[in-house]
Amino acid sequence: MRDPQRKSCLVTGGAGFLGSHLCEQLLECGHEVLCADNFFTGSKRNIEHLLHHPRFELMRHDITFPLYVEVDEIYNLACPASPVHYQHDPVQTTKTSVHGAINMLGLAKRLHAKILQASTSEVYGDPVVHPQREDYWGHVNPIGLRSCYDEGKRCAETLFFDYHRQHRLRIKVMRIFNTYGPRMHPSDGRVVSNFIVQALRGEAITLYGDGLQTRSFCYVDDLVDAMLKLMGTGDAFTGPVNVGNPVECTIRELAERIVAMTGSRSEIVYLPLPNDDPLQRCPDITLARESLHWEPKVPLHQGLESTVRYFERLLSRQD
């Protein structure tokens, strides 16, 4: 007889950085997990330790095509999330956000399932309000190089709330701010993975602009904890809710910290700032504190140490 507390959970993008950690934690909580991924940016290496778990199933699938499965909850994480990857095929990126949302919402509607959308701080664009609150509508370039991701995610949020209003679908929308940790893709172009890989290889640390632009970095374990808490809230709470670390640091400070932590002799070199790259990005997490009873616990130095150790092991296998 099935445990009534056990849920069947679909995680799209489940072999990716965030998705693999979420799959792992859902199994820890006693649930059944169906991981769907087309492996554009995800990797079997991220979930190979789960492949023989009796409550885990892997399916190769692209969510721009409909999916017919039976589940209780859907976590929609599928979409390339770094500029290097989402700008590689911008049309497909928009399709993944928009067509993927339509397909997963249609599945949730048919199953009467609860569904969570992994949205992003990119919906705020290059913000003129700081820190960013959920009631801020954003400052986004609709035709820039980043628009395939920014506007795709904004449209996905629109679809989620229209399905909620029109079909009474049980939705959850989380706006994720810079997350880092083990299983990041070494070539994803994000600052944490970039700096660590460059430092470990003794290469120049490439810093864009003057390095004074700020970001706030949230460790992956804290992010997954918030995701589970959001899915566990009552139907009246839909979000959107910001999830991230409100402690800011400059990109230059991050680079210097990683160089010191790795004992690298890498020099920092400065390159022109990319188009539409935001100068400030920091969440106001008041709503997450009040509604999810959540705030990040892992300090930056501790999270970076775990991430550096992961990349040391990864690069040693590649050499």
Catalytically active residues, by annotation: 149
Helix-helix angle 147-167:90-111, to 10 degrees? 20
Residue-by-residue DSSP string for 301-316: HHHHHHHHHHHHHHHH
d(CA 121, CA 134): 10
